[in-house]
A and B are shown apart, each in its own frame.
Chain A
Amino acid sequence: MFEALSILLYGLVQSAVLLLIALGFSVTFGISGIPNFAHGGIYILSGFACWYLLRKAHWPYPLAVAATVALAAAIGTLLYWLVIRPVRRLVLAEVLATFAVGVAFLELFRWMGLVTYEFHLPPVLSGSVTIGGVTMDRHRLVIVGAAAGLGMLLWWFGRATRTGLALRAMAQEEYTALAMGVHEDRMAAIGVALGSALAAVAAVLVLPLGIISINLGYDAILVALALTVTGGTERTAGLLLAALLLGMGTVLASMVLGPHWSEVIYLLAIVVVLAVRPSGILGRFKELEERV
């Protein structure tokens, strides 16, 4: 009973972690069709930026977090106008250009010597709580709450705001959206900025679980790709379902088969979904050739 509850709770936390990491990548891809492979680089950049503002500049926590999210959004905007726009519509070039930027960020940090172990972010809430005999830190519960909250916020944003509706319109039927006066570049830039801001939110929530390590940026891209492919790009519910499946799956595999299998689950999910249902579990109108 204890083990079952533990797997359930830790699986839920792991699902929330995966969802947070993937949300930015998926949103950008889903609403503007841009595969932002700089996502992992922006995720780690946000972690280091927040660390700097908190530890070196001694900014208060809420201000440091807000500034980090704003910085990531600004970087996303610049990324679109300077890197992505010149190669827009050339899918392979978009992938390569954004991937190169992400790698450049991560390797720059390595070159700067940020490979030591003092880089850490504080949890939103300290202390632990016990649920049915399973003791867990409050921060992990914050992560679950934040993931659920962000998911709902994005759902609302896509349906109740003009910008959200315009973004969705671009994703669903580009020419009709253009005919209705939607500005393509502006929407795409907003999409990349929003995804980057979400990467920063993920950084300030997920990185406090351990320490900031450059290689986590590469992991973030793998996670984002696995969830996006598994869930389908155009529906937040698909992403949520994929996060639950992979989160629960990795914890369960880790317990039953051994921790090695938790890594295999991501790759297995990509392969199986692409073979069986190329549009993703809940995807409907994205064909295989349109996907990364």
Chain B
Amino acid sequence: MIRFRAGLALWVFLLAALMGLPAAFGGPAEPIVLGVPTALGHSDGADSLRAVQLAAEEINVRGGVRVGGARRPLQVVSIDTREHEPGIPIHDALAALEKLITERRPHAIVVGAFRSEVLLASMDVIARYRVPYIVTIAMTPLFEQRVASDPGKYRYLFRMGLQSEYFAGNLARVLGFVKSRYGLSRVHFAYQDVLWAKGTVSILETWARQSGWTVVGSDAYPTGATDFSATVIRAQSGRAQILVPVFDMPQAGILVKQVRTARLPVLMAGYVVPVVPGTAWQTFEGAVDGFVQFLHEPGAIAVKALSKSVHFNRAYGRKYGEEARLRLGGHGPGPSYDAVYVVAAAIERAGTLEADRVADEIRRTDMEGVIGRIRFNERHQVVYGGLPHETAISLAFQWRAPGRRVVVWPEIAAEDEIRLPAELRR
């Protein structure tokens, strides 16, 4: 009997040892899966994924995320939704999102939708699968309206990237400055016919008319358009002094070159995605000289007033190389990097991976990040403003010879004020 008990005890001990040893001696803990479903064929999407991987790696080097009593590493999984391409239906992007959720079972999603149209359609999918979701690229203000309409249903959805109303406000402030400083009063808009750009220009146009500007014209181009002569002709014949282009498609580079080679006497101020990278001066052979380009969020440029942006910029260059750092896009990477830290901190505070509690903790976030101070409003949008220690901020820089990006807005980060291009000064 004694022998039987001793044998049983030995077997129980061996079984317990086999089950418990890996955990006791720090065997591989189950990772926390972060999903990145976005347009990876677009540089903003691809750079955002790299920013997420960088943040996850930094957190893992420090031991991972504390969940209850254990530390668990972050694992990043991604899927290309291709939603930035002309002709890719929203349905395909949603199918990609659902595939990621059902096959990889992410505990949270970051970066998310690239197109606003896809974001709005994704909201119900996310509500159905109950996955904390932080979008950093799609910009439509309708997102906030939707969250406000049913806070319970959309409790898992948050946005850390810029919203287009903020962008319109930022552009309005810059236009206001050049009006008061240089007396300019004639503006022409050209934009991509997608939800965020249309929304931005619609707000701006209304503001401009109410603020005494003469709106010379407003041209909407379909995604993929390659000829912008209508804008060049209209802006020239209408004697526009400012041209505001709002595009996230690479083909808009044609407009920039076309305006410069036509020697149009205008200040260009807006968002043209290929004008953001530090390599744009060479790419456009100086045609970007004087262009006032907005960075929706800091990240591509290190700003002294934001220490995390300096760290991010350097760390990105170390991990992916100097060329990749120079090519960093102006929309997505900064908040995507921050989003990983927001999720990690929320999980640690919640002490669980349970979606409702993680979402509640994300909503309570208050931390410093690459983009400034990160706090969500009641409609789950990070608050943007002009003071980096109180809100997240956007930036605007002006291209100057011989290929420098000089930050000109907001005042707290500005290195110089906006200068008029030579054609306009004459």
| Bound complex: CA A135 to CA B237 (Å) | 12
Query: A262 in the interface, Cβ–Cβ < 8 Å?
Result: yes
A110 to B283, CA, bound (A): 19
User: Taking the complex as formed, is A263 at the interface, i.e. its CB lies under 8 A from any CB of chain B?
Assistant: yes
Cβ of A6 to closest chain B Cβ, rounded Å:
4
B106 within 8 A of A: no
Output the residue of B222, B250, B254 with the most chain A CB within 10 A.
B250
Q: Which of B237, B251, B283 contacts A120 (CB 8 A)?
A: B283
In the assembled complex, B101 has its CB within 8 A of some CB on chain A: no
In chain B, positions 268-322 with a C-beta closer than 8 Å to chain A are 273-274, 277, 279-280, 282-285
In the bound complex, residues from chain B placing their C-beta under 8 Å from that of A119 are 283
Q: Which residues of A contact B282 (CB under 8 A)?
A: 118
The stretch among B39-47, B120-128, B147-155, B199-207 that forms the contact with chain A is B39-47
| CB proximity of A115 to chain B, nearest CB, Å | 5
**In the complex the two chains form, what is the Cα distance from A214 to B86 in whole Å?**
12
Q: Find the residue from B237, B273, B283, B285 having the highest chain A CB count within 10 A.
A: B283
Query: Are the CB atoms of A118 and B224 closer together than 8 Å?
Result: no
Q: Are B226 and A210 in contact (CB under 8 A)?
A: yes
Q: Which residues 181-239 of B sit at the A interface, judged by CB distance below 8 A?
A: 193, 219-222, 224-234, 236-237
B257 on the interface (CB 8 Å rule)? yes
Q: Across the interface, do B225 and A259 meet the contact criterion of CB distance under 8 Å?
A: yes
Q: Are A118 and B283 in contact (CB under 8 A)?
A: yes
Pairwise interchain contact A262-B220, C-beta atoms closer than 8 A? no
Q: Judge whether A117 and B253 touch: CB under 8 Å.
A: yes
Q: B26-52, CB under 8 A of A: which get 1 and which 0? A: 000000000000000111001000000
Residue in contact with B227 in the complex, picked from A14, A117, A128, A218, CB distance below 8 Å: A14
CA distance A128 to B258 in the complex (A): 11
Tell me the chain A residues, 131-172 only, with Cβ under 8 Å from chain B.
134-137, 139-140
B415 sits at the interface (CB 8 A):
no
With A115-B46, A117-B274, A128-B263 known to touch, is A3 a contact of B225 (CB < 8 Å)?
no
Report the count of interface residues on B (CB-CB < 8 A): 43
User: Which B residues lie within 8 Å of A2 (CB)?
Assistant: 236-237
Among A117, A134, A140, max chain B CB count under 10 A is at: A117
- When C-beta atoms are compared, the residue in chain A nearest to B231 turns out to be A259
Distance A122 CA – B86 CA, assembled complex (angstroms): 26
The stretch of A23-31, A64-72, A224-232, A249-257 that contacts the partner chain: A249-257
Which one of A117, A122, A134 contacts B327 once the chains associate, using CB atoms below 8 Å? A117
Q: Contacts A215-B85, A250-B227, A262-B227 hold; do A120 and B261 have CB atoms under 8 A apart?
A: no
Query: Could you tell me if B43 and A117 are in contact, using CB atoms closer than 8 angstroms?
Result: yes
Interface presence of B262 (CB below 8 A): yes
From A6, A122, A128, A215, contact of B229 by CB (8 A):
A6
Q: Please state if B283 and A215 are interface contacts (CB–CB under 8 Å).
A: no
Interface centre among B86, B232, B233, B284 (most CB of A within 10 A): B233
B80 nearest CB neighbor, chain A only:
A110
Contacts of A134 in B (CB 8 A): 262
In the complex, chain B residues whose CB is within 8 Å of the CB of A259: 219-222, 225, 228, 230-231
Task: Point out the residue from A118, A126, A128 that lies within 8 Å of B277, measured CB to CB.
Answer: A118
Contact of B262 among A118, A128, A211 (CB under 8 A): A128
Partner of A251 from B41, B222, B229 at Cβ < 8 Å: B229
Contacts of A50 in B (CB 8 A): none
Collect the chain A residues with CB atoms within 8 Å of residue B226's CB. Answer: 209-210, 216, 219
- A246-275: CB near B (< 8 Å → 1, else 0) gives 000011001100111011000000000000
Residues of A within 8 A of B233 (CB): 3, 6-7, 10, 255
- Chain B residue, CB-CB nearest to A214: B41
Q: In the complex, how many residue pairs between chain A and chain B have their CB atoms under 8 Å apart?
A: 123
Query: Does residue A213 face the partner (Cβ distance < 8 Å to B)?
Result: yes
* A115-B193 CB under 8 A given contacts A137-B262, A254-B230: no
Query: Is B230 touching A219 in the complex (CB atoms < 8 A)?
Result: no
A113 contacts chain B at the CB level, 8 A cutoff: yes
Q: Which chain A residue lies CB-closest to B274?
A: A117
Q: Whole-angstrom distance between the alpha carbons of A262 and B228 in the complex?
A: 10
B147 vs chain A, min Cβ distance (A): 31
B274 and A211 contacting across the interface, CB-CB below 8 Å: yes
CB closest chain-B residue, reference A115? B41
| Contact B250–A211 (Cβ < 8 Å) | yes
The answer to whether A117 and B229 touch (CB under 8 A), given A219-B224, A263-B222, is: no
Question: Provided the pairs A122-B285, A258-B220, A263-B222 are in contact, do residues A216 and B229 lie with their beta carbons within 8 angstroms?
Answer: no
Given that A117-B279, A118-B327 are known contacts, is A128 also in contact with B250, CB under 8 Å in the complex? no
Q: Once the chains are docked, how many angstroms separate the CA of A139 from the CA of B86?
A: 28
B261's contact among A17, A128, A250, by CB below 8 Å, is which? A128
User: Are B261 and A258 closer than 8 Å at their CB atoms?
Assistant: no
Distance (whole angstroms) from the CB of A111 to the closest CB of chain B: 9
List, in ascending order, chain A residues with CB within 8 A of B253's CB: 117, 120, 210-211
With A115-B46, A258-B220 known as contacts, the answer to whether A210 contacts B257 (CB < 8 A) is yes
Question: What is the CA–CA distance of A7 and B229 in the complex, to the nearest angstrom?
Answer: 8
Separation of A137 and B236 alpha carbons in the complex (Å): 15
Most chain A CB within a 10 A radius of its CB, from B228, B262, B277: B262
Measured between C-beta atoms, what is the minimum distance from B199 to chain A in Å?
17
Contact of A14 among B222, B229, B251, B283 (CB under 8 A): B229
| Residue in A14, A116, A262 whose beta carbon sits within 8 Å of that of B43 in the complex | A116
Q: Is the CB of A262 within 8 A of B225?
A: yes
Binding site for B on A (CB under 8 A): 2-3, 6-7, 10, 13-14, 17, 110, 113, 115-120, 122, 126, 128, 134-137, 139-140, 209-211, 213-216, 218-219, 250-251, 254-255, 258-260, 262-263
- Knowing that A134-B262, A211-B250, A258-B220 are A-B contacts, what are 11 other residue pairs whose CB atoms are under 8 Å apart, sorted by A's residue number? A6-B232, A115-B46, A122-B285, A137-B258, A210-B250, A210-B251, A210-B253, A215-B251, A250-B227, A254-B230, A260-B193
List residues of chain B with CB under 8 Å of any chain A CB.
Answer: 41-43, 46, 85-86, 193, 219-222, 224-234, 236-237, 250-251, 253-254, 257-258, 261-263, 273-274, 277, 279-280, 282-285, 327
Task: Give me 19 A-to-B residue pairs in the complex whose CB atoms sit less than 8 angstroms apart, sorted by A's number.
Answer: A2-B236, A3-B233, A110-B41, A116-B43, A116-B277, A117-B274, A117-B279, A118-B279, A120-B253, A120-B284, A128-B262, A135-B262, A137-B257, A210-B226, A210-B251, A215-B224, A251-B229, A255-B233, A260-B193
State the 3 A-B residue pairs at the shortest beta-carbon distance, nearest first.
Answer: A137-B261, A210-B254, A117-B274
